[in-house]
Structure 1
Amino acid sequence: MPEAASKRILLVLLIVAVVPVGLLARFHGGPAWLRNSAGAVLYEVVWIAAAQFAWISARTHRLALAVLAATCAIELLQLSDAPWLWAARSTVPGRLLLGGNGGFDLMDFPLYGLGCALGYALCRPLRASP
């Protein structure tokens, strides 16, 4: 099996392992700060793994920085009262992608950074050689 294909399989397995853990952490028991923190960190890991899957030979640190920038932008969108954002957040996928836990939270930024560092560490070995 070509290197890229085997690395993509491992990335899919990583995503399949992290998504249920993230959803469980986010929606099942425990203190709210822990649910939100675990969800934010694992959210970054999944997006970095998905980006590495799509761009298998891309440098992982660049993907991690792009994911960090995108998720920080999404966090800043929570400051907006645009009707289309409220409509999107009223759905489960919208809440999961755009946030719906009470709006903007400055403390999410360090969690995104931590998640990107973890995502980088997990996905870097799964990058295919160019």
Structure 2
Amino acid sequence: MKSSRAAYLVLLLITITLGLIGRRLSFVPLATGDALWAVAVFWGLHLLTPKARTFRLALVALLISYAVEFSQLWQASWLVQLRSTLPGKLLLGQGFLYTDLIAYTLGITGVVFVKQYLFTRSKGSSTGQTVC
């Protein structure tokens, strides 16, 4: 798969779609949606900076995910009101759970491996090229 903005946009849209579908299916663990949320942050960052190194973007995506999770401890009335809307709920979450931090970490770890597989395979992994 070619490393480009178009590819990252497609991957972001697929991730968002899977996350939204997963929230509607009772047999899909909630942690799956949390992991996909962090993955969407990763693909979104890659969309904005397609030539950035994978490890750096993974770290930034993880820090953003953690920051959003910890922000849920702050219960300012305007923020609670924002989180009660659908966009606010989807982007900011509603309540702090330490298990979400684990899901974010697993999601980012998984997407790094997926990206390495997708993008090094098409570039010719036999030459030893990587995108990290």
Query: What range is the shorter-chain TM-score in?
Result: 0.7 to 0.9
Letter in 1 for 2:109: A
* TM-score normalised by L of structure 2: 0.80
Which runs of structure 1 show a deviation greater than 3 angstroms over 4 or more consecutive aligned residues? Answer: none
1:112 and 2:104 equivalent? yes
CA distance in 1 between counterparts of 2:12 and 2:81 reads: 27
In structure 1, which of residues 18, 21, 33 is the aligned counterpart of residue 18 of structure 2?
A: 21
* TM-score normalised by L of structure 1: 0.81
Letter in 1 for 2:72: Q
Bigger RCO (CA 8 Å, 6+ sep): 1
Which residue of structure 1 lines up, in the alignment, with residue 56 of structure 2?
A: 62
Query: SS at the partner of 1:80?
Result: coil
Letter in 2 for 1:70: I
Which residue of structure 1 lines up, in the alignment, with residue 123 of structure 2?
A: none
In structure 2, which of residues 46, 50, 61 is the aligned counterpart of residue 52 of structure 1?
A: 46
Q: Give the unaligned 5+ runs of structure 1.
A: none
CA distance in 2 between counterparts of 1:123 and 1:12 reads: 14
Query: SS at the partner of 1:46?
Result: helix
Which residue of structure 1 lines up, in the alignment, with residue 89 of structure 2?
A: 95
Which residue of structure 2 lines up, in the alignment, with residue 86 of structure 1?
A: 80
1:37 and 2:31 equivalent? yes
Identity, % of aligned positions: 32
In structure 1, which of residues 76, 79, 87 is the aligned counterpart of residue 70 of structure 2?
A: 76
Q: Between Structure 1 and Structure 2, how many residues are aligned? A: 118
Alpha-carbon RMSD across the aligned residues, in angstroms, is 1.9
CA distance in 1 between counterparts of 2:11 and 2:96 reads: 28
- Encode CA deviations 1:54-107: one digit per residue, 9 max, x unaligned: 11111111111111111111111111111121011011010001102xx11111
Q: Is the 8 A contact 1:48 1:123 kept in 2?
A: no
Q: Give the unaligned 5+ runs of structure 2.
A: 121-130
Query: SS at the partner of 2:98?
Result: coil
Query: SS at the partner of 2:75?
Result: coil
Query: SS at the partner of 1:107?
Result: helix
